[in-house]
Amino acid sequence: MVEGFFKSMASLRHAALALAAAVALTGCGDTGANETWDPLEAPNRFVFSINRAVDTIAVRPVAVLYRDWMPAGGQRGLHNVLENLGEPVTAINEVVQGAPSRAATTMGRFLINSTIGVAGLFDVASAIGLAKTREGMGDTIGYYAGVEPENGGFYMILPVIGPSNARDGVGLAIDAAVDPFSIITFGISRTAGWIYSGARYGATMIDRRSRTLFALDDLEKNSVDFYAALKSAYTQQRADFIRQKRDKTGPRAELEQRDKVALVR
């Protein structure tokens, strides 16, 4: 009995040592090697094919026309207006992320661009050194969640919007709910709210699609399974964005910060 106990302890210790050795050998660099969790693959592929049909028939042609016929200044202006409308939500997220100074910069950008920048048409704030940041609730959740940022919950394809996952889907819903502009317009009347939201999201879709034409065409042409390639690329890009945010507040950034202070002294 006792002997058996010691034997099992010994084998446990061996197992632990083997595990430690395996961890040491593989190192910590190879994170995210596993595939994205996709339990809804069949329905996702279905929605994906519908999205692609809608894209081919309606969204893509408009985006191509927009890219090729709209003057570059006009494209930049519309892009700036849409980005400016997103600033308050970014600021809210930065507050939740515990970065009040960045939130203040973002609100400063919003006030300057909305007034001097003529309702956001011109990005005056960037020109005077207020850097643009873009944060959504998906990033905030990812920032606080104690898991690898590759793990955003199950993957899903949203109708019209496209690739997302549990984390980013919930984030989108919260962002939409706290957006001051939709609260104000829906406060005026239901119709005003829908007109505002429809115009804004329609314009955002065309703006974004015209900017991703080349990258998405490239990915589609050079993959044997476009669905899987896009899933991987989406997961990696989101994870990279969230990881950078986390690293900024890690021990490494803290040390770099100290080095800078030491150099100044």
Partner 1 sequence: MLLASRRAFLCLAAATAVARPAHAADDPAAQLIEKVAAEVIQLIKTTTGAQREAGIRDVLVRYFDLPYMGRAALATHWQATSPDQRERFLKAVVSAEARAYSERFGQYGGQTLNVTRVTQRPNGVSVVDSKLTQSDGQPINIQWEVRDSGQGLRITDVKIEGVSMVMTRRSDFNSYISNHGGKVEPLIDELEARAKR
Q: Does 129 bind partner 1 (CB under 8 A)?
A: no
> Are the C-beta atoms of 80 and 117 separated by less than 8 Å?
yes
Q: Does 231 bind partner 1 (CB under 8 A)?
A: yes
Q: Which two tokens stand for residue 265?
A: 């002294």
Contacts of 44 (CB under 8 A, 6+ apart): 38, 155, 156, 157, 227
Q: Which of 18, 39, 56, 254 binds partner 1 (CB under 8 A)?
A: 254
Q: Does 74 bind partner 1 (CB under 8 A)?
A: no
Q: Which of 201, 256, 257, 260 binds partner 1 (CB under 8 A)?
A: 256
Question: What letter represents residue 10's amino acid?
Answer: A
**In the complex, minimum distance from the CB of residue 16 to partner 1, in angstroms, rounded to a whole number:** 21
DSSP labels, 190-214: HHHHHHHHHHHHHHHHHHHHHHHHH
Q: Of the candidates 206, 185, 207, which has an alpha carbon nearest to the alpha carbon of residue 194? A: 185
> Which single residue is written with the structure tokens 């989101």?
238
**In the complex, minimum distance from the CB of residue 237 to partner 1, in angstroms, rounded to a whole number:** 5
Q: Which of 145, 203, 216, 229 binds partner 1 (CB under 8 A)?
A: 229
Q: Does 239 bind partner 1 (CB under 8 A)?
A: yes
**In the complex, minimum distance from the CB of residue 217 to partner 1, in angstroms, rounded to a whole number:** 10
80/86 Cα distance (integer angstroms): 10
Q: Which of 14, 118, 255, 257 binds partner 1 (CB under 8 A)?
A: 255
Q: Which of 8, 189, 191, 237 binds partner 1 (CB under 8 A)?
A: 237
User: What does residue 93 show for φ and ψ, rounded to 5 degrees?
Assistant: -65, -35
Q: Which of 33, 57, 97, 143 binds partner 1 (CB under 8 A)?
A: 33
Contacts of 96 (CB under 8 A, 6+ apart): 137, 140
Q: Which of 1, 2, 5, 27 binds partner 1 (CB under 8 A)?
A: 27
Q: Which of 129, 221, 261, 264 binds partner 1 (CB under 8 A)?
A: 221
If the CB atoms of residues 97 and 236 are measured against partner 1, the closer one turns out to be 236
Q: Which of 218, 246, 257, 260 binds partner 1 (CB under 8 A)?
A: 218
If the CB atoms of residues 57 and 224 are measured against partner 1, the closer one turns out to be 224
Q: Which of 12, 201, 214, 246 binds partner 1 (CB under 8 A)?
A: 214
Q: Of the candidates 92, 96, 94, 108, which has an alpha carbon nearest to the alpha carbon of residue 178? A: 92
The stretch among 31-39, 56-64, 102-110, 168-176 that binds partner 1 (CB under 8 A) is 31-39
> Are the C-beta atoms of 119 and 81 separated by less than 8 Å?
yes
User: What does residue 32 show for φ and ψ, rounded to 5 degrees?
Assistant: 70, 15
Using CB under 8 A as the binding rule, the residues of this chain from 76 to 115 that contact partner 1 are none
Pairing of strands 155-158, 162-165: antiparallel
156/246 Cα distance (integer angstroms): 24
The residues of the shown chain that bind partner 1, judged by CB under 8 A, are: 27, 29, 32-33, 35-36, 214, 218-219, 221-225, 227-229, 231-233, 236-237, 239-241, 250-252, 254-256
